[in-house]
Each structure stands twice: as C-alpha cells, then as structure tokens.
Amino acid sequence: MKIYEKAPAKINLLLDVLRKREDGFHEVEMIMTMVDLADRLELEELPRDTIIISSQAGYIPLDEKNLAFQAARLIKERYDVRKGVYIHLDKKIPVAAGLAGGSSDAAAALRGLNRLWQLNIPEDELCRLGAELGSDVPFCVTGGTAIATGRGEKLERISNPPQCWVVLAKPPINVSTADVYGKLRANELREHPSTADMVSAIERGSFSDICTGLGNVLENVTLDLYPEVLQLKESMQKLGADGVLMSGSGPTVFGLVSKEAKLPRIYNGLRGFCKEVYVVRMLT
Ligand SMILES: C[C@@](CO)(OP(=O)(O)O)[C@H](O)COP(=O)(O)OP(=O)(O)OC[C@H]1O[C@@H](n2ccc(N)nc2=O)[C@H](O)[C@@H]1O
Ligand SMILES: Nc1ncnc2c1ncn2[C@@H]1O[C@H](COP(=O)(O)OP(=O)(O)O)[C@@H](O)[C@H]1O
C-alpha cells in the first residue's frame, strides 16, 4: 500500500527570544502559520525491516541525517514496529531557508507512518515524538496557526490570519539556525515585538495590524551576516508588499500582500535579481 502526506512550509509572523537557557536552547515566543508551498511524501511499506529514503532533490542527505529517516526510526523503536518503509520526498521547499522544510518532512513522516502502520498514536503524542527530532517539528505535526513557546514545542492554537498572498524570496545562501541563535545576544535585546498585539490583530482579522505587528529578533543577526537579505527586504517593501519580514533564522524573506493586482510587479521586480521567488497563499 502507498500513502501520501503533504508537508507544508511555515513562516514566523512573529519571533521573539526571551532568554538563553541552561541547556543551550533559547526560550522563544513565536507565532507560526503554514503556507501553501509543500513537499510531498510518498510512503510505502517494505517487507524487509529497513528504512529507505529517496528524493529528486540532489542536495539533501538521504541517510540517517535526513529528518524523515529519523522520524521513521523513532516511531519504529518506540512502537516496536518490525516492518520497513520506503519514503520518497518530492522536495519543493527550499532547504536551510527558515521555512522548516526538514521539520515538516519529519512531521509528515510521523503522521504518515501512524496511518500506514495503523498505530493510532494521538496527535499530542506525535508532537512529543516530534520534539525529540527538532524544536519546530511539533508545530509542523499540528499545522494551523499557533503561539509556540518553550524552545518552540509548546503550542497554543489560535485562529488563522485572514487569507492573503505570501511572496517568498530566498537569496542563494544557506543559513545555519544554530549559528544565528549562537550569535544572538539575547540578554541585550532592547526591542521585542508584541505577541499580544499580533494575537489580537489575528483574532480581529485585521490584515493591516498584522502587517505592522510583524517582528523577528533573529532578523538583525542574519542581516549583519548577509547584507543581501536586507537588500531583498527593502526591495520587497519598495515593490509594494504590505508587510515584510524574514522567516525564522532566514534567509527567506516573506511579503504579505492583500491585493492580487500587486503581485506581478513584486514578482517580476524580485526575479530581476533573485532566482528563487514563490507566490503562494496562506494555508487557512
Ligand atoms: C528559528 C526557527 C524558528 O521557527 O526556525 P528555522 O529558521 O530553523 O526554520 C526555530 O526556532 C528553529 O527550530 P529547528 O530548526 O527545529 O531547531 P532545532 O533543530 O531544534 O535546533 C537547531 C539549533 O538551533 C538552536 N536553537 C533552536 C531552537 C531554540 N528555541 N533555541 C535554540 O538555540 C540550537 O543551537 C539548536 O542546536
Ligand atoms: N528532509 C529534509 N529536507 C531538508 N533538509 C533536511 C532534511 N533532512 C535533513 N535535512 C538537513 O536539515 C538542515 C536544515 O534544513 P531545513 O529544515 O530545510 O532548514 P530550516 O529549518 O532553516 O528551514 C539542512 O542542512 C539539511 O541538510
């Protein structure tokens, strides 16, 4: 039997860091939502007790470093599953981009294997397993829109933002999340974006207040390392996006746009100097 799972990309509408923890991770407060740019996983049971990963993308690991492999190994160990699985990853989400492509693949593998092997694992347990694989995996298990706290694994579901267009532009650099958190001086942050204001804007369905409330304290770290990300941000603003922010640790910059008529100018303007530009919808 073959089954399919979609693994959408996330964006952080807000990302605040409260402090660095003893365990090396950072205590965060984030508002995350999904966009309609997704990898697609094909899962097929194998008679042999093995995990095989393939992908059309030449630039991701296919061995135990792959997060979908780690998800399959974790579920097999915890639930004593002595069957094998072949997982094909049709990658559409750019890698190391701040869009949680790997985390979403891991989450989709957990959901898919739960179905394929009829394990009936409840969603909160899938989230706990996901947290063992990465801080963003629990959110990718549930999807929707959520406030994420702790190191990102504690989730509170909120309503979805009003529907809009999302323009994603990724400059040709790979950013290491660990590196960006490592360079952040969490105790010296003077400005914090307001989670309460953003939650209120989302719940009121106010697109303009969502645009003004966007904020990410990791942005300055990545902008200092890679000035081309700032150039991208400024271009997207000049081209008419209503709200612009870097997602996660970057380098992808997203622009929220309410009017479809604005899209050709923004897309064509960005494509003039950035090869990877996507126009998608919020997943609501
Ligand atoms: C920044 C964010 C925002 O959504 O996303 P990305 O830019 O990676 O997409 C996340 O916090 C990333 O989550 P994820 O990519 O799952 O991180 P993990 O694999 O758990 O951790 C990678 C490294 O980032 C650092 N890290 C991560 C999360 C956190 N709350 N504090 C940290 O300091 C740690 O150094 C850790 O070793
Ligand atoms: N299934 C996967 N898809 C993409 N990257 C993966 C996957 N499994 C492991 N990785 C590794 O994880 C790292 C971060 O990938 P990704 O999740 O795309 O980053 P980000 O969280 O910044 O969006 C990459 O260096 C990549 O080699």
Residue 182 near ligand 2, beta carbon < 6 Å:
no
Omega before 251 within 30 of 0, i.e. cis: yes
Q: Which residues contact 156 (CB under 8 A, 6 or more apart)?
A: 146, 147, 149
Domain with CATH 3.30.230.10 in the chain: 2-158
- Using DSSP's 3-state secondary structure scheme, residue 61 falls into coil
Quote the DSSP letter at residue 99: S
Counting from 1 in the atom list of ligand 1, the atom nearest the Cα of 181 is 33
Handedness of CA 149, 219, 248, 203 (dihedral sign): positive
ipTM of the complex: 0.98
Identify the CATH homologous superfamily for domain 165-281.
GHMP kinase, C-terminal domain (3.30.70.890)
Q: What is the pLDDT of residue 1?
A: 83
Please report, for the chain, how many H helices and E strands are present, in that order.
Answer: 10, 11
End-to-end CA distance of the chain: 30
Residue 231 near ligand 2, beta carbon < 6 Å:
no
Nearest CA to ligand 1 atom 37: 178
Dist. CA 214 → ligand 1 center (Å): 19
Which positions are annotated as active-site residues? 10, 136
Residue 104 near ligand 1, beta carbon < 6 Å:
no
Amino acid, res. 42: E
CATH 3.30.230.10 at 2-158, yes or no: yes
Mean pLDDT for each consecutive 10-residue tract of the chain (284 residues)?
96 98 97 98 96 95 98 98 97 96 98 98 98 98 98 98 98 95 93 97 98 98 96 98 98 98 98 96 91
pLDDT (tens digit, 9 = 90+) per residue, 190-205? Answer: 899 999 999 999 999 9
Domain with CATH 3.30.70.890 in the chain: 165-281
pTM for this prediction = 0.98
Percent of the chain clearing pLDDT 90 (strictly above): 97
CA-to-CA distance for 172 and 191, rounded, in angstroms?
29
